[in-house]
Amino acid sequence: MAVNLQALSPKLINLMLDTVFVVDEENQIVFVSDACESLLGYRSSELIGTLITRYMHPDDLAATRASIVRVMRGQPHIDFRNRYIRKDGSIVHILWSARWYAEERVRIGVARDVTALMQAEEELRFLAHHDPLTKLTNRSLFYDRLAASLSAAHRHRNSLALLFLDIDDFKMINDTHGHAVGDGVLCTVAQRLEDCVRETDTVARMGGDEFAILLTEIQSADAVVAKVEKIRMAMNEPLGADFKGIKMPSCSIGVACYPIDGEDADTLLSYADSHMYRIKKRRSAAG
């Protein structure tokens, strides 16, 4: 028996997990497959006759219009990504394959939901540049930001300061109370440091119990001294009830200022690190 493939075509299209859109040259939707309800939350009957641009994320509208122009000039676009706003107001990331059919005067696009993929990619990018425990900037990203800030400071003749912080006797906390408690202390320190700086500054975990802070556009040496004192006061605050009476450890803070203490990243880091260890040594000697 011969199979009428033409009659089956609409049924086959509606079986697809991806959504098929047919849009005319005025951006009006003339057909959309059933999968669109899962993609955008609208039934096909709600979308037909409306402008497809109405559902695009406004921040992606310009790039999407450029892609439309490209497609209508006869250049298929098979790897375009943008965002649409679902019926419930949430955002969906879509990967498109689109082609213009001049004879029918329509463009046909196949849309795939890649929201989960985009979220996974974003998480991987975050993990590549942040400490997994404290969520602070990691050593690699800190170096990049320090280098960029030094270049900007040199161009604009600004100052910046680099603080290097070490938690005193942190090993004793881990040995006495366990690594879970130690991790809790590190997270508390990270949060307190972030609360002490501006959004334009950078706090990083350099490894173990060592942290670094980049202060940009410093107005004076007194401003650096005031910031160090603010951090000391924050670190002296007792730990919360969850730590069951464990005393918040003290910290040693080394400081290096550009351009007085060095003009490149390695020199400044070395100076701040040495300053921090001199302070730690004096504190240890004082008992």
pLDDT tens digits for range 33-69: 999 999 999 999 999 999 999 999 999 999 999 999 9
Whether the predicted pLDDT of 195 surpasses 80: yes
Q: 130-286: same fold as 10-119?
A: no
What are the helix and strand counts (H, E) for the chain? 10, 9
All structural domains of the chain with their residue ranges = 10-119, 130-286
Q: Which residues pair with 83 in a beta bridge?
A: 93
183 is catalytic: no
Dihedral over Cα of 99, 100, 101, 105: its sign? positive
What pLDDT shows up at residue 211? 97
Whether the predicted pLDDT of 286 surpasses 70: no
Place 287 in a pLDDT band, splitting at 50, 70 and 90.
low
Q: Per residue in 68-112, pLDDT tens?
A: 999 999 999 999 999 999 999 999 999 999 999 999 999 999 999
Whether the predicted pLDDT of 4 surpasses 90: no
Q: Thinking of the domain 10-119, which architecture would CATH place it in? A: 2-Layer Sandwich (3.30)
Q: Thinking of the domain 130-286, which architecture would CATH place it in? A: 2-Layer Sandwich (3.30)
* Cα 109 from chain centroid (whole Å): 30
What pLDDT shows up at residue 99? 95
Work out the percent of the chain whose per-residue pLDDT is above 90.
77
Q: What is the mean pLDDT of residues 147-163?
A: 93
Distance, in Å, from the CA atom of 173 to the CA atom of 246, rounded to the nearest integer, reads 9
Q: What is the mean pLDDT of residues 223-232?
A: 94
CA dihedral 220, 225, 228, 230 (to 10 degrees): -90
Q: What is the DSSP string of 80-122?
A: EEEEEE-TTS-EEEEEEEEEEETTTTEEEEEEEE-HHHHHHHH
Q: Per residue in 170-192, pLDDT tens?
A: 888 888 888 898 899 999 999 99
In the set 166, 201, 209, 273, the catalytic residue is 209
pTM summary value: 0.74
Work out the percent of the chain whose per-residue pLDDT is above 70.
95
